[in-house]
């Protein structure tokens, strides 16, 4: 079956830099193949703008394989677009109809200042990881895989939490711009594994403290973060983060 083409109206947020007020500009995306990805559609529009002597739309991306999450933007009010558990680079134009109007804007959060157009600075997520999202081990030969037994259910939950790609969609989706799903995923991943237990209390305290000081809001259980997460991270990880934080705060050695 051959691909068909569609024509779209794009309302794109344009902002020269962090101090610019910014505004929406309207463009026509003509003869776009339904086999094209969303980013390929933007590439085509940018080629048309460049040929017309206009400045192309600045947007972020890296792998274009749904792995890195750098492509994050808000499409028609949804972080990464309307398709469930899909990054923007893997969103294809067959999910839109001929004549549709698409509103494209950057992630909106105080902690994510706009660099230019659709590109935001998400380096604060790296700062949270630097605060404790790791384990301290001696380098050398890798240990045997069975040296530290891990229960199957814990291994699966840890793997699900580790699937977080740090794209920031949870922050953009949350009405409070909270980062608790991101932090909950990172804390849960290591809290469920024996390698993460020696530093579990320190990790929970330091990562939550970093999150609180970097401009994020508080979680009020709206669950938009879970809905828009491209990797399907569950809010049960937020509950686990809260338990780990309380355990660390009160010095308990008992698992909640």
Specify the pairing of strand 101-105 against strand 5-14. Answer: parallel
At 147, the pLDDT band (50, 70, 90 cuts) reads confident
State the pLDDT at residue 148: 83
Average pLDDT (20-45) is: 97
| Domains, the chain | 5-116 (3.10.20.30), 123-137+144-250 (1.10.1060.10)
Burial 214-232 (b: 16+ CB within 10 A, else e): bebbebeeeebbbbbbbbe
Query: Measured over all CA atoms, what is the biggest interatomic distance in the chain, rounded to whole angstroms?
Result: 65
User: What would the mean pLDDT of 24-39 be, rounded to a whole number?
Assistant: 97
Q: Dihedrals φ, ψ of 250, to 5°?
A: -100, 5
Residue 2 pLDDT grade (very low, low, confident, very high; cuts 50, 70, 90): low
| pLDDT-based confidence at residue 253 (cuts at 50, 70, 90) | low
Q: What integer pLDDT is reported at residue 256 of this predicted model?
A: 46
Chain segment 108-137, per-residue pLDDT in tens: 999 999 999 999 999 999 999 999 999 998
pLDDT, position 254: 54
Any idea what the Cα angle at residue 25 is, between residues 24 and 29, rounded to 5°?
130
Q: What band does 146 get if pLDDT is binned at 50, 70 and 90?
A: confident
Angstrom distance (rounded) from CA 90 to CA 36: 9
pLDDT-derived band at 145 (thresholds 50, 70, 90) equals confident
Q: What is the pLDDT, as a whole number, of residue 1?
A: 46
pLDDT at 78 over 80: yes
| N- to C-terminal Cα separation, the chain | 55
In which order are the strands placed within the sheet that holds 101-105? 23-33, 5-14, 101-105, 74-75, 78-79
- Report the sign of the C-alpha dihedral through residues 75, 177, 215, 134, in that order: negative
3-state SS, one letter per residue, for 207-236 = HHHHHHHCCCECCCCCCHHHHHCCCCCCCH
Average pLDDT, rounded, for the chain: 94
pTM: 0.92
Could you report the per-residue pLDDT of 190-223, keeping only the tens digit for each? 999 999 999 999 999 999 999 999 999 999 999 9
Q: Give the model's pLDDT for residue 199.
A: 96
């Amino acid at each position: 079956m051959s691909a068909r083409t569609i024509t779209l109206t794009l309302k794109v947020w344009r902002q020269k830099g962090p101090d610019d007020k910014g505004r929406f500009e309207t463009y026509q995306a003509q003869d776009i193949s339904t086999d094209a990805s969303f980013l390929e559609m933007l590439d085509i529009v940018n080629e048309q703008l460049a040929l017309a002597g206009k400045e192309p739309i600045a947007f972020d991306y890296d792998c274009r394989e749904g792995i890195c999450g750098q492509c994050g933007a808000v499409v028609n009010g949804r972080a990464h677009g309307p398709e469930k558990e899909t990054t923007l680079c893997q969103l294809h134009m067959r999910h839109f109809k001929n004549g549709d109007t698409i509103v494209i804007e950057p992630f909106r959060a105080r902690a994510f200042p706009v660099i230019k157009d659709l590109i935001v600075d998400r380096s604060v997520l790296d700062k949270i990881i630097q605060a404790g999202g790791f384990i301290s081990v001696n380098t050398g030969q890798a240990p045997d895989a069975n040296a530290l037994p891990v229960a199957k259910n814990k291994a699966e939950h840890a793997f699900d939490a580790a699937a977080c790609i740090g794209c920031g969609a949870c922050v953009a989706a949350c009405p409070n711009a909270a980062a608790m799903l991101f932090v909950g995923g990172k804390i849960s991943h290591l809290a469920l594994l024996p390698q993460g237990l020696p530093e579990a209390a320190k990790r929970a305290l330091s990562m939550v403290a970093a999150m609180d000081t970097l401009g994020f809001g508080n979680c009020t259980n709206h669950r938009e973060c879970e809905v828009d997460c491209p990797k399907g991270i569950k809010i049960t990880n937020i509950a686990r983060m809260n338990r780990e934080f309380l355990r660390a705060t009160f010095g308990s050695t008992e698992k909640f």
